[in-house]
């Protein structure tokens, strides 16, 4: 999708499954299962959708890296992980994108399904998957990920990101700021301290990669939040503030985990936020931001 001088495309690292109740918290199953049918283990499908953005200054930005290759058969079964070996890199290569051409990797946060593909195993050691890239992460989240609580410790695999620091590839961000021309990150902490939204300000509109603030299109509905969120009331506040801006300025939202819907705008009607135009980034057409 072309937006201003930026070109965006979705890329994938496969799919996996998590418990539907955990993904929707206190929302009764009778409501969410209409859009997210569960299997016999009550698991629902999640996409591992990453975002590749080519900017006018020659920068090539990848947002999040999926789960990566280093999973044993037990964990593959637990998570219902479906992916081919080296999937994200292979999919990029099929589009003519080499690992070396990626200049920046922005990690929304360091949970294993977002940062698992940041490194790869070579000759028994872990090295950055994208060897020429800088990896951007919030300092607050880095600190938390290295000393997580008992509640969310299982969400992190420290080996996935420790080697990035050893290789001198990490760029720490302190709060909301423009990290590259046109690329702004905004910390949100309801899900995990220091998660960051990634906003591309193109001059012709704003495209936002929502990470785990709004993983599914259905979760544009404010009360539909995850049981995984460490501070759910903060998540509600952050969603309302973000979606208000999204409606006012006609943001394009990209959903990381929705296996059906890639992107959408948002409208506010009858006292609630609802999806606007729903579309795919692979359409290859210019996008013109319009008032809702």
Domain ranges for the chain, please list them: 2-283
Which pLDDT does position 160 carry in this prediction? 85
CATH superfamily for 2-283 is Ribonuclease Z/Hydroxyacylglutathione hydrolase-like (3.60.15.10)
d(CA 194, CA 143): 9
pLDDT surpassing 90 at residue 287: no
pLDDT surpassing 60 at residue 284: no
The reported pTM is: 0.95
pLDDT tens across 87-104, in order? 999 999 999 999 999 999
pLDDT surpassing 50 at residue 290: no
d(CA 45, CA 17): 5
pLDDT tens across 249-274, in order? 999 999 999 999 999 999 999 999 99
pLDDT tens across 214-261, in order? 999 999 999 999 999 999 999 999 999 999 999 999 999 999 999 999
**Cα-flanking dihedrals φ and ψ of residue 266, to 5°?**
-130, 145
pLDDT band at 6 (very low <50, low <70, confident <90, very high): very high
């Amino acid at each position: 999708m072309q937006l201003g001088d930026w070109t965006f495309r979705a890329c994938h690292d496969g799919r996996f499954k998590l418990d539907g109740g955990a993904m929707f918290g206190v929302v009764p199953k009778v409501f969410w299962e209409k859009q997210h049918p569960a299997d016999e283990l009550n698991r629902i499908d999640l996409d591992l959708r990453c975002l590749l953005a080519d900017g006018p200054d020659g920068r090539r930005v990848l947002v999040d890296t999926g789960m990566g290759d280093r999973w044993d058969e037990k964990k593959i079964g637990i998570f219902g992980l479906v992916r081919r070996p080296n999937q994200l890199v292979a999919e990029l290569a099929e589009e003519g994108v080499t690992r070396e051409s990626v200049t920046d990797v922005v990690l929304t946060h360091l949970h294993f399904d977002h940062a698992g593909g940041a490194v790869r195993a070579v000759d028994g050691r872990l090295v950055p998957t994208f060897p020429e890239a800088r990896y951007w992460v919030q300092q607050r989240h880095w600190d938390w990920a290295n000393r997580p609580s008992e509640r969310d410790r299982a969400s992190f695999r420290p080996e996935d990101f420790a080697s990035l620091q050893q290789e001198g590839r990490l760029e720490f961000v302190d709060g909301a700021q423009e990290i590259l021309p046109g690329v702004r990150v905004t910390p949100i902490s309801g899900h995990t301290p220091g998660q960051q939204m990634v906003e591309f300000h193109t001059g012709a509109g704003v495209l936002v990669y929502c990470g785990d603030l709004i993983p599914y299109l259905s979760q544009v509905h404010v009360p539909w939040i995850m049981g995984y969120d460490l501070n759910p009331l903060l998540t509600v506040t952050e969603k309302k503030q973000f979606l208000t801006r999204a409606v006012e300025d006609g943001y394009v939202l990209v959903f990381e985990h929705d296996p059906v819907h890639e992107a959408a705008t948002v409208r506010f009607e009858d006292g609630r936020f609802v999806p606007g135009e729903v579309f795919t980034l692979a359409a290859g057409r210019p996008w013109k931001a319009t008032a809702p």
